[in-house]
Structure 1
Amino acid sequence: MTTTDETTLAAGSPTTTFAPAPTTAFAPAPRGAADDDLGPGLTATDVSTDPRAISAATAVPRARTAPARARRPANGAASAPPAPPAEIEAALAAVPAPVVATSKVVTVAAPASAALVVPTIAPPDAEGHGDVLDDMLDRAVTHLRSLQDDAGWWKGDLESNTSIDAEDLMLRKWLGVWNQEQAELTARFIRSRQIADGSWPIYHGGPGDLAPTVESYVALRLVGDSPDAPHMRAAAAWTRAHGGVPASRIFTRIWLALFGWWRWEDLPVLPPELMLLPAKVPLSIYKFASWGRQTIVAITVLMAHRPTGIPPFPIDELFPAPAPAAKSRRRARAAGAWVDTTIDGLFHVGDADLDGDGSPAAQPSAVGAPSVPVDAPKRRRGQDAAPEPPDVAGRAKDGGGPGIPLPDGRLRRVGARAARGIKSAAFEHLPWTWMFHRIDKALHVYHRHPVRPLRALALGIAERWIVIRQEADGCFGGIQPPTAYSIIALRVLGYPMDHPVLTAALRSLDDYSVIRSDGSRMQESCQSPVWDTCLATIALADAGLATNDPALVRAADWLVGQEVTARRGDWSVPIPDVPVGGWAFEFENDTYPDVDDSAEVMLALMRVAHPRPEKVMAATYRGLQWVFGMQCADGGWGAFDVDNAGHLVYKIPFADFGMLTDPPSADVTAHVVELLGELGLGDDPRTKRGVEWLLHSQEPDGSWYGRWGVNHIYGTGGVVPALRAVGLPASHPAIQRAADWLVSRQNPDGGWGEDCYSYNDMSTAGMGVSTASQTAWALLALIAADRVGDGAKGEAAARGVAWLAATQTDEGSWDEDHYTGTGFAGYFYINYNLYRLVWPVMALGRYRRALAGDAH
């Protein structure tokens, strides 16, 4: 990585002098604040009091190229787990040992024609096998097996939107670690995702969105693209037509503020004093979802210091209207004109800064060089306030997911009755909004005159809070956004670029980059090895692979080695007595294991005839205890936290970026219920509460809302098999209504698809271009609902299987450009590149089994 001169930062606060710390300096928070490392209620035995003690400088990451390995403890070796309760031990022992079967793998040639020719699925033989079905499934299994790493894991690339790529470039430019060759490769990828109207969307086939469009434009300017180039002119015109920079999301404007293209004074305040609030207070950081919490803490540091750089170039073309011309700033101010809306107006330009013709002199090219922001002129009495930014194109207009307002101020329900308490920050008619806007104004005043000891204490706690959560591979939170913001926050706090914490963090972002087949560089928002591996294991086992096959045993070994056994993460703040356990989504994310991954991992482990069953049983027991502890009060399960469904966080002016809480969802709850059913715990009261939650959250049309996959097809494809696993008959009204809904949404070509826009408009639920993953989800539900066999009963499933057969690629997979993964409904979607393979393999395997009379 080519390194240029380090960026010099300037504190925006007029009351605080910023001086970079010495290269080895680290000022830990007062000893009395030790309990705030991971949250109130945790003791010094849970985490180190010195953040450097478990930073990337000393922690050893899990080797990605070796089989299962010992977990690293946070503070010494983990103690042996207690003996399992008798009922759980009995349930685990009663689970039938996986049947050691042999699998038939045959490679056949793909159809010569690329046209969609729907084949006829031959009647199965006595074992439920047919030539087309067997050949299709065997090719897919062969291809999936070929993608396994020698260590046992699978990982597909994760595509999101170009904000991730643009922010990676902006981060490296701001830090002074720019590599032009690398940047050109990223720029090539960004350009490839621009759509015809000049904008960038947040999902394939979707409309343009301001956040990726503004950020991608700025990133390309940093790389060297001319603003007069046709693709740049189109992007700028689209941006202006949709409200320009003022209408963009707050995080976009924070990035611009770092470069001096936006005023910190015009952003809502998140003060670091939030770190001093007890965990149970409504606006405590622990009331935000894990993904927002890790980012917000870093943002509070930036809000306190307000680092501002000299822009390397103006971006006036991204604003809807230029500032009025004025011969002199002084006269313009005297006239009451607002002269600071353009980029040049954000900085003092003294006489010494002017060229002979009176124009601003050329500025240093180093981004982040010290500058002094111009104070905004005060609004005169009676003068209209600046208008609120218009809504961003592509977000919900007439319906939507969590946190997305409807035009009349209502919020679309999240999974029917699943999360009644979630509201949107757009309720302008409620006094909460008015109150928080008044509080925000007061916080701006407080920023200029903070209580210094209090602010110093808060910043110290925030610093330690960030560093103590660095994972062994250097990342923060396992995803790109909090890692990037944490790097910036620590840099602002004086950490030099060669500090081990920062070098490890940057290295983790390097690990997220993917060089694509066309030579371009794509930045992943995160990586999904645990999730992909457990799904691949389930799929291969359900497709008939021998349960003692070395591929499955290696996968099980690797998964057991990924179990979180030592560190108590944020999840433990409200439930400190729940023992550590579970699995995370990524290679390294011990602070944030999640229920969804944990349930699917245990479902995968149950399918493997491991040579050391006691090893698998012990991990399953610990995981099960943790999952039980994560059940919410209403009976459902969220992903990362317990009872994280408050609505007050949506009222703050900062809340414009989607889902801020982690309430129970149908898909996560379904995966847990399915696990409990397969473990024989269907009669457990906790299981019954989960089943009741699922039945209560069914939509009126018979579907279920999908929180982490698009959308109602995903939710329905997860819930129906779960209900069958706990013993509900296929004839149950909820199951048959779900099957009827799926049949009604089948495309004429035989497949199923659902566009991300269904989060905006529920009338489009289950409608979209057919995709392999969504067709597989629909099949999983229809198979579980006993909609398989001869005649009309099995027609829809047979047509879905025929569509998969007709669209399978030569290598045995399926093409899938459309995004079927959900990060934050209405704001962030994901194309899991392995979904197109693992889900069809799973569905086809179960379909073949169902034809043989063994659907479950």
Structure 2
Amino acid sequence: MGLSAPENPLGYATVRQRAGTDPRSVHRLARQRLLSLQSRDGSWEGEMAWSVMILSQYVITRHLLGRPLPPGEIGPIVQHYRVKRLRQTGWGLHAASVGPSPYCTSLAYIALRLLGLAPDHPLCRPARQWLRTQPGGVAAIPSWGKFWLALLGLYDYRAMHPLLPELFLLPKWLPLHPDRLYCHTRTISQAMTYLYGTRFQGPQGGVVEDLRRELFDRPLRRSDRHRTGIDAAVSPTVPLRLLQRALALYERRPPLALRRRALDRCRARVEHEHAVTGRLGLSPVNSLLDILVLHASGEKPDKVDRSLTAFDYWRWTDPHEGSRYAGARSQTWDTAFAVEALLADHAPCPDTARAVARANRFLTGAQITTEIPTPHLTARSPARGGWCFSEGGHRWPVSDCTAEAVSALLSGSDAGRADPTFDISAATEFLLARQNRDGGFGTYEARRASRLLEHLNPAEMFTHCMVEGSYTECTGSAAVALVHLQGRVNGTQRHACKRALSRARTFLLSTQDADGSWPAAWGINRIYGTLFAIRGLLATGVPRTHPCFVRAGWWLESIQLADGGWGEDHTGCIDNRYVPGATSQPVSTAWALLALLELTGGRSRAVLSGIAWLCDRQLPDGSWPQTAATGVFFGTAMLDYRLYREYFPLWALGRWLATHPAPEIAAGNPAAHTPHLSSDTGARHDG
């Protein structure tokens, strides 16, 4: 393939010499560590850490509902703000932020004051002083922040870009109908437009009046709606400006009957969404807005209280970081990858077998087996057959979560174990329905509108959030799963799988960049996308001698850092390019190794150096230190998947050990000393 030649036929000894430890001992310790983290229900779950934004919105929502937090819950919340503060000043959009965000800092300051902290408290005073130094001050935070301030009565609704509920009354065939939007965007919109249309505001006076004096040094003007500040990730386009002006003209005198009808439509959609998700919503952001809509529309207080109690589903608490709310729950996602990591070395182990059996029972029970009632009310795509990112409680299944669950469940049966009992036909139909016209796969749904709608993105602080996309990682995961499934379904579905795999192959081949890498939308960044593209293309039958793999292998080897590991900086997500990390990271290294093990085998210089790097960096408890973000959404929001550092390095080590003879075997078998390309790279890795 033109890649680096084997350095030493005894690659195992090479790694042991470089790392100063036995790779199998490293793998064994990592495996025991992961097994110890399995929950009683058979799942694994690590926190998907983001920012203090949702926590701030939760505190503000409690105030708007007139339901202050119990005194015993305030301390852990304040602790989280204390731990997450940047530069002893403010709070960022994510942990990797180079500095505070006016948006996050404004909401955090307000939340802390609503919790009872004084203006001169050490957490409040520096934040307020920093906000006053920003161009435009609090008046220049993005529109999403202006909306939350308007709910509090701190911002004039007239100084906002209009959020018209009448958009939900448009004919559904129009390209601008909200039902064509990405599901997160449209479910947020149906709640925000209701609250905007009713001009809902929470209790006034008291601390709200104090906040107005503390945060604003002048009255607001309509021109403030155009201020965006340093949080802005995208500049408003000319079409967006024209649309906003047209909506502002309409908003001066909206027909009252039409407004009432539009509000009724939005309220009905919110109530339906809240009901079919078990009061959880698509995400905690959606859930808080839905609760406010219920309250603003006059819902009975006991029902609002039950919804507020249900919101604790999203909470994480520990002594060090305090109480906060994650952006999602990740049981299915983490469990599927944990299973694939545990099975990667193909070595029988009773503890592993028991853990995998428990995980399979969890995954089988997490599949959605019934349809959403009256999905047309909110334009929901069919959900039956899929798996959610979580354990399934909110009933919003996703393509790659479904694909990885299927791969985890069926990888065991491919190794000789009995087939699991999940609904294979329904899972196949679910995956096939997420494929777009270009052959790529979306997340929750297939794409419903042109990408041109991104030019009307009003979010300012996020990118690529208007319509569903075709994603490298979703396509790669779906391809691997469909290969598992096509041999287990009837003739009609088998033909559909074959056609879908052909289209997925075409999509992945067409989206490789000239340097050999693939872009990603949900992980950081090019290394992640390249791994999933390689997995998908191999699953579809592309031979390892194909030029796309040669380019990918060269690229991965070219970006290996001097210490033998790999690292990638999150800033490349914004510019859609590879940016090398300042240091090597265990997760990035594991992703690169998993990709190279498919392409160059287990004895290439790059792989041996990477395996040695992982062995050398393992902590005494069997885990690895991760100091950089690993995930991303909407281009600018970086995430820390806390379990990635537990199972991806284990997966890479297991995969390497599976293709590498143990020293005691090699010593008794001279043939094992000779590297064979077919033994190192010939077996397809379907996990």
After superposition, the Cα gap between the structure-2 partners of 1:269 and 1:545, relative to the gap in structure 1 and judged at 3 Å, is farther
Which residue identity does 1:777 align to in structure 2? W
2:16 pairs with 1:178? no
Q: What residue is the counterpart of 2:617 in the other structure?
A: 807
The equivalent of 1:210 in structure 2 is: 102
Give the one of 651, 659, 677 matched to 1:842.
651
CA distance in 2: counterparts of 1:301 and 1:788, whole angstroms = 57
**CA-to-partner distance for each residue in 1:576-620, whole Å, 9 max, x for gaps?**
997832111123355421101011111001123499988736523
Q: Is the 8 A contact 1:772 1:816 kept in 2?
A: yes
Report the 3-state secondary structure (helix = DSSP H, G, I; strand = E; otherwise coil) of the residue aligned with 1:298. Answer: helix
Corresponding residue for residue 225 of structure 1: 117
For 1:831, what is the secondary structure of its paired residue? strand
Q: Which residue of 2 aligns with 1:138?
A: 28
SS at match of 2:316: strand
Is the Cα–Cα contact under 8 Å of residues 203 and 756 in structure 1 kept in the other structure? no
| Alpha carbons of structure 1 residues 512 and 540: separation in structure 2 relative to 1, 3 Å | same
CA distance in 2, matches of 1:578, 1:295: 20
Q: Give the one of 223, 239, 244 matched to 1:437.
A: 244
Task: Judge conservation of contact 1:478–1:588 (CA < 8 Å) in 2.
Answer: no
User: Match for 1:746 among 546, 560, 577?
Assistant: 560
> C-alpha separation between the residues in 2 aligned to 1:486 and 1:537?
35
Mean Cα displacement is larger for which, 254-263 or 751-760? 751-760
* CA distance, structure 2, for counterparts of residue 560 and residue 476 of structure 1: 22
1:380-427 superposed Cα distances (whole Å, 9 cap, x missing partner)? xxxxx558314424x54xxxxxxx45xxxxxxxxxxxxxxxxxxxx22
- Deviations for 1:646-670, whole angstroms, at most 9, x for unmatched residues? 3454454743242222210111111
**Which of the numbers 368, 380, 400 marks the counterpart of 1:564?**
368
Q: Distance in 1 between matches of 2:130 and 2:55?
A: 20
Q: Deviations over 1:147-175 (max 9, x none)?
A: 11221111111210111211111112222
Q: Counting helix residues as a fraction of each chain, which structure ranks higher? A: 2
| Unpaired segments ≥5 residues, structure 1 | 1-119, 324-339, 342-375, 380-384, 397-403, 406-425
Please state how far the C-alpha of 1:573 moved relative to its aligned partner. Answer: 9.2
Task: Tell me, in whole angstroms, the C-alpha distance in 1 between the residues paired with 2:374 and 2:246.
Answer: 28
- The residue aligned with 1:14 is none
Q: CA deviation at 1:714?
A: 0.9
For 2:563, give the aligned amino acid.
D
Match of 2:324 in 1: 522
1:639–1:545 Cα change, 3 Å: farther
Which residue is equivalent to 2:507? 693
Equivalent in 158, 167, 183 of residue 274 of structure 1: 167
User: 1:88-107 alignment to 2 at 5 Å?
Assistant: none
Q: Paired residue for 1:702? A: 516
Deviation at 1:759, TM superposition (A): 1.7
Q: Which moved more, 1:509-518 or 1:675-684?
A: 675-684
1:306-385 map, 5 Å: 306-309=199-202, 310-311=204-205, 312=207, 313-315=209-211, 322-323=217-218, 340-341=219-220, 385=223
TM-aligned CA deviation for residue 317 of structure 1 = 7.2
- Relative to structure 1, the CA distance from residue 386 to residue 486 in structure 2 (aligned partners, 3 Å threshold; closer, same or farther) is closer
Aligned counterparts of 2:414 and 2:597: Cα–Cα separation in 1:
28
2:640 counterpart SS class? strand
Task: Please show how residues 676-691 of structure 1 align to structure 2 within 5 Å.
Answer: 676-679=482-485, 684-691=498-505
Which one-letter code corresponds to 2:581 in the other structure?
A: M
User: Could you tell me how far apart the structure 2 residues matched to 1:484 and 1:632 are?
Assistant: 31
Q: Which whole-Å deviations, capped at 9, do the CAs of 1:706-743 have from their partners, x for residues lacking one?
A: 11111111111211122222222223221121222222
SS in 1 for 2:90: coil
2: CA distance between counterparts of 1:159 and 1:785? 33
Corresponding letter in the other structure for 1:673: A
Within-5 A mapping of 1:336-735: 340-341=219-220, 385=223, 388-393=226-231, 396=233, 404=234, 426-428=236-238, 432-446=239-253, 449-452=254-257, 454-470=258-274, 474-499=278-303, 502-518=304-320, 520-544=322-346, 546=348, 549-568=353-372, 580-589=384-393, 591-609=395-413, 616=420, 619-647=423-451, 649-652=453-456, 654-658=458-462, 659-679=465-485, 684-735=498-549
Higher mean C-alpha displacement, 657-666 vs 307-316: 307-316
- The C-alpha deviation readout for 1:303-331, integer Å capped at 9, x for no partner, is 11112241524345775x722xxxxxxxx
The answer to whether the 8 Å contact 2:601/2:680 transfers is: no
Give the residue type in structure 2 aligned to 1:621.
S
- What's the secondary structure of 1:522's corresponding residue? strand
The C-alpha deviation readout for 1:426-457, integer Å capped at 9, x for no partner, is 223xxx234302222123213xx4332x3333
Query: Taking every aligned residue pair, what percent have the same amino acid on both sides?
Result: 27
Compared CA separation, residues 132 and 472, structure 1 to 2 (3 A): farther
Question: Does 2:134 align with 1:242?
Answer: yes
**Cα gap change, 1:235/1:700 in structure 2, threshold over 3 Å: closer, same or farther?**
farther
SS of residue paired to 1:470: helix
Q: Which residue of 2 aligns with 1:190?
A: 81
2:332, 2:363 within 8 Å by CA — same for their partners in 1?
Answer: yes
Match of 2:7 in 1: none
In structure 2, the partner of 1:84 is none
Bigger drift between 631-640 and 612-621 goes to 612-621
AA of the residue aligned to 1:204: A
* Inter-CA distance 240–569: structure 2 relative to 1 (3 Å threshold): farther
* CA distance in structure 2 between the partners assigned to 1:240 and 1:764 by the alignment: 35
Give the conservation status (yes or no) of the 8 Å contact 2:483–2:539. yes
The TM-score normalised by the length of structure 1 is 0.69
SS at 2:633 equivalent? strand
The answer for the alignment partner of 1:199 in structure 2 is 90
1 CA distance for matches of 2:415 and 2:507? 37
- 3-state SS in 1 of match to 2:13: coil
Q: Which amino acid aligns with 1:211?
A: Y
Instruction: Work out whether residues 712 and 766 of structure 1, in 8 Å CA contact, stay in contact via their aligned partners in 2.
Output: no
Q: CA deviation at 1:228?
A: 2.7
**Given residue 771 of structure 1, which amino acid in structure 2 is its aligned partner?**
Q
2: CA distance, partners of 1:825 / 1:847? 32
Q: What SS class does the counterpart of residue 684 from structure 1 fall into?
A: helix
Q: Where does structure 2 lack aligned partners over 5 or more consecutive residues?
A: 1-10, 488-493, 662-678
Match of 1:152 among 39, 42, 45: 42
**Inter-partner Cα distance in structure 1 for 2:86 and 2:265:** 44
Q: Check whether the contact 2:383–2:395 (CA below 8 A) recurs between aligned residues.
A: no
Q: How far apart are the structure 1 equivalents of 2:383 and 2:94? A: 39
Shift of 1:634: 0.8
Residue 474 of structure 2 aligns with an amino acid whose one-letter code is V
The whole-number CA distance in structure 2 between the counterparts of 1:183 and 1:836 is: 31
Pair member with larger Rg: 1
Which AA in structure 2 matches 1:297?
Q
Aligned counterparts of 2:529 and 2:404: Cα–Cα separation in 1? 15
2:687 counterpart of 1:796: no
CA distance in 1, matches of 2:272, 2:338: 33
Shift of 1:182: 1.0
In structure 2, C-alpha distance between the alignment counterparts of 1:709 and 1:750, rounded to whole Å: 21
Question: Partners in 1 of 2:129 and 2:188 — Cα distance?
Answer: 31
DSSP-derived class of the 1:703 partner: coil
Shift of 1:763: 5.4
Query: Secondary structure at the residue paired with 1:220?
Result: helix
Q: Distance in 1 between matches of 2:369 and 2:305?
A: 27
Question: Following the alignment from structure 1 to structure 2, what is the Cα–Cα distance between the partners of residues 804 and 523?
Answer: 32
**TM-score normalised according to structure 2 size:** 0.85
Deviation at 1:481?
0.1
C-alpha distance 550-489 of structure 1, shift in aligned 2 (>3 A): same
Cα pair distance change 1:685/1:647, threshold 3 Å: closer
SS in 1 for 2:581: coil
> Quick one: which amino acid aligns to residue 782 of structure 1?
L
Structure 2 residue corresponding to 1:294, chosen from 173, 182, 187: 187
Number of aligned residues: 634
2 CA distance for matches of 1:470 and 1:274? 21
Q: Counterparts of 1:471 and 1:749 in 2: how far apart (Å)?
A: 53
**CA deviations over 1:470-498 (Å, ceiling 9, x no partner):** 36774443411000000001110001331
